[in-house]
Structure 1
């Protein structure tokens, strides 16, 4: 009788443990860009163009600059008098996404923030590409280059965003590249400022 009771108790413990076991953590929608706001200087970014005085990370709001609406964003990347571009390529399989989920063409949302200075004009550009495993472009978002002029624009922080859809199966990589330069060709960091970038796959 005692053995039967112990066996019943063990079975109950096993059943209870199984019912409360934590299921595998799914891949959640999250920002796939690393160091999007300069907290780790230029870490994780490939500097595809590094002209003039080169890229620099500065504290918000910076000289002749503007505050940012999110207190969690305290730094930004600043460009110079020649073209400065930086890039990250996100490997979606390495980030834990399953090929079948990616082939179902989930929405991919990208966002970026840019601003100018109150004493110098600047240009801003952004190119985001959805790529297959051979780095062939499935779909591209490349809006026209923007020019900010402090004489007719407050040059405050502006948002650009885009959601990709219907791009076909085969998505494996996402390339995100942005940057710009100033229009005065002044030595230093008078060009466009960028921060708060994000790439989110909605799986």
Structure 2
């Protein structure tokens, strides 16, 4: 199985390794599964998640593929790159979730990106259980050297505290 290139994908080390690109409201927080008004995760090894607040919270990691041991030749062969993320809402407050993953060249210019539409979760019409988003990049051309992974969101009622989207179990893998 390919190794996950994201460090601290489930919050076991609080916010270590993540760059907080938006840290609004009560800011990012790590909580224990399942949390208030939440659901257990489908993998019992995952015991924590990142919680967002009433203003936009986004966090990012930029993966240096050469530093991770890949050669230019390996990367120019365009191996499949798979990104996965898990998100959920609370049963008592609506929220929004977003993710943007970019394949970058040596100058950090975007080669290809994955940015699905904003997801809005409403506990009145959604069970707010954990959902997975997944995407595989292929046929993106040569020059890949970095991957930027950014995700987050906020609550939709602007409640003080951590009532926004929850994220965990993120991964970025390169097909070997």
Q: What is the TM-score of this pair, normalised by structure 2?
A: 0.99
Per-residue CA deviation, residues 81-134 of structure 1 (Å, 9 max, x unaligned), is 000000000000000001100000000000000000000000000000000000
CA distance in 1, matches of 2:36, 2:2: 35
Shift of 1:29: 2.2
User: Comparing both structures, which one devotes a greater share of its residues to strand?
Assistant: 2
When the two chains are superposed, the root-mean-square deviation of aligned CA atoms in Å is 0.6
Aligned to 1:151: 124
Q: What is the TM-score of this pair, normalised by structure 1?
A: 0.86
User: Comparing both structures, which one devotes a greater share of its residues to helix?
Assistant: 1
Per-residue CA deviation, residues 136-173 of structure 1 (Å, 9 max, x unaligned), is 11100000000000000000000000000000000000
How many residue pairs were aligned? Answer: 176
- Larger RCO of the pair (alpha carbons < 8 Å, separation 6+): 2
Q: Which runs of 4+ in 1 moved over 6 A?
A: none
Provide the secondary structure at the position in 2 that maps to 1:44. Answer: coil
User: Is residue 142 from structure 1 mapped to residue 108 from structure 2 by the alignment?
Assistant: no
Per-residue CA deviation, residues 20-69 of structure 1 (Å, 9 max, x unaligned), is xxxxxxxx721000000000000000000000000000000000000001
CA distance in 2, matches of 1:46, 1:154: 30
CA distance in 2, matches of 1:197, 1:62: 18
Trace 1:1-203 onto structure 2 (pairs within 5 A): 29-203=2-176
Provide the secondary structure at the position in 1 that maps to 2:42. Answer: coil
